[in-house]
Amino acid sequence: MMLIADSGSTKTDWVLVDGARKVREVPTQGFNPNYHSEETITRALTQDLVPHVPAQAITEIWYYGSGCWDPERKEVIARPLRRLFPNATVHIEHDLLGAARATCGHEPGIACILGTGSNSCLYDGTREVDNVTNLGFLLGDEGSGSHLGKELLRCWYYRELPPHLAEELEAMVPGGRKEVLDQIYRVEAPAVYLASFARFLGMRQQDPFVRTLVIRCFDEFLVRHVCKYEGHDHLPVHFVGSVAWHFRELLQAALGAKGLKLGVIDRKPIERLVHFHQQIQSPSGM
């Protein structure tokens, strides 16, 4: 049996596969080796994943996760999985490769992630051939949920929000400035907290101020990332992630203004990833 996972900083989708048959789907919290310790990951998997799958029968694990961009960070995820699934060969890959395999398949394209964080790559149908550096939520993550949340909070505290939005946001954050700063600077995963404010914007997408703010964030992502790739003027630009999905109308508007070719927008790439691996396993899959 094979276990396939697509993990962001907020949520992980696990699918247990037996040949061409999808056996079970299990959701757990998200993991990011930049924010979460091995102990946290082990505890969460022991509680939320292991009871729902036949651990001893799993022989292969493909895990695509945010923050898994070098061997050291990959091991933070790999070690707990090896302990909990002792008979499995564990493959840890960056979520970017997962996004590319899910949306591009075996064709060239530009694959983008817009979720809690953001990232992108140029994919040649087999591998990533270029990646504009992702600097994380402190310096980058343009177009992501954490970026949207950060911009909303800035507008609020810099007195740039229209009064009706400021009043609604104030009701949502009764602790005010202290609550916000405590959550950002004193918790394990501040990007997740910032991204939670994307829901506020998502419920108000028809508001002119919100539309302008969101499109500005997407435009920054396109200019600083997508438009740096060779072939961006004709290759399809694919997106995965909750932010891309929930704001797809505004995302499409941002791409249209740049003359970019929109490809797939998929909230959760896990289904396409399962199909990708089933194709590889099948003798006639390639």
* pLDDT for the residue 283: 47
Query: Which residue is associated with the tokens 């990232």?
Result: 119
pLDDT (0 to 100) of residue 282: 55
**Structural domain count of the chain:** 2
Q: CB–CB of 66/8 below 8 Å?
A: yes
| pTM score | 0.83
Residues 262, 122, single domain; the answer is yes
Residue 286 maps to a domain: no
User: Do 32 and 167 share a domain, yes or no?
Assistant: no
Is 8 a member of any domain?
yes
How do residues 211-258 score in pLDDT, each as one tens digit?
999 999 999 999 999 999 999 999 999 999 999 999 999 999 999 999
User: Do 206 and 166 share a structural domain?
Assistant: yes
Residues 6+ positions from 224 with CB-CB distance below 8 Å = 132, 142
Any idea what the CATH number is for the domain that residue 223 is in? 3.30.420.40
Q: Can you say whether residue 159 is alpha, beta or left, with left for phi > 0 and alpha for psi between -120 and 50 degrees? A: left
- Co-location of 160 and 86 in the same domain: no
Spatial distance between the Cα atoms of 19 and 277, rounded to a whole number of angstroms: 10
Domain with 217, as residue range(s), is 106-266
DSSP designation for 175: T
Judge if 150 and 26 occupy the same domain: no
- Residues 127 and 237 reside in one and the same domain: yes
Please give the helix or strand (H or E) that residue 119 lies within, else none.
strand 118-123
218 lies in a domain? yes
Query: Do 46 and 119 belong to one domain?
Result: no
**What is the per-residue pLDDT for 285?**
37
Q: Is the pLDDT of residue 22 over 60?
A: yes
| List of residues 6+ apart from 235 with CB closer than 8 A | 108, 109, 110, 122, 229, 261
- Based on the domain organization, do 92 and 115 belong to the same domain? no
